[in-house]
Amino acid sequence: MRELAIEIGVRALLFGVFVFTEFLDPFQRVIQPEEIWLYKNPLVQSDNVPTRLMFLPFQDLASRRFTWLASCTASPRVGGGRAGGSVLPSCPCTAP
């Protein structure tokens, strides 16, 4: 019960901080002359991001998982192939 009261208190405090900061005046950033060069990047004609390279690791993991699942379902079961309680020998997550 004490943990629940602490949780409710922390959430109420965070909500109070949010409401307080929500109604403050917005922050106006002043860019100094020394750092203006950071914002003067040249425009690029070709703005093409190769998304295929981004998702190659996920595709590789998905294909390995699919291959592993296919090998688990295609392998013979320990215990003579009986239903109920038999374990797949090639699946690392199950113990014989």
The phi and psi torsions of 76 (rounded to 5 degrees) equal -70, 150
What does pTM read for this prediction? Answer: 0.34
Cα–Cα distance, 92 to 68 (Å, whole number): 10
Q: What is the mean pLDDT of residues 39-68?
A: 70
Alpha helices in the chain, H assignment, sequence order: 2-22, 51-54, 56-74
Q: In the chain, what percentage of residues exceed pLDDT 70?
A: 57
Mean pLDDT of the chain: 74
Q: What is the mean pLDDT of residues 39-55?
A: 73
CA distances from 72 to 36, 64, 87 (A): 60, 12, 10
Query: Token match 């943990």: residue?
Result: 3
Please report which confidence band the pLDDT of residue 75 belongs to, taking 50, 70 and 90 as the band edges: low
Check the CA dihedral 40-46-52-56 and report its sign: negative
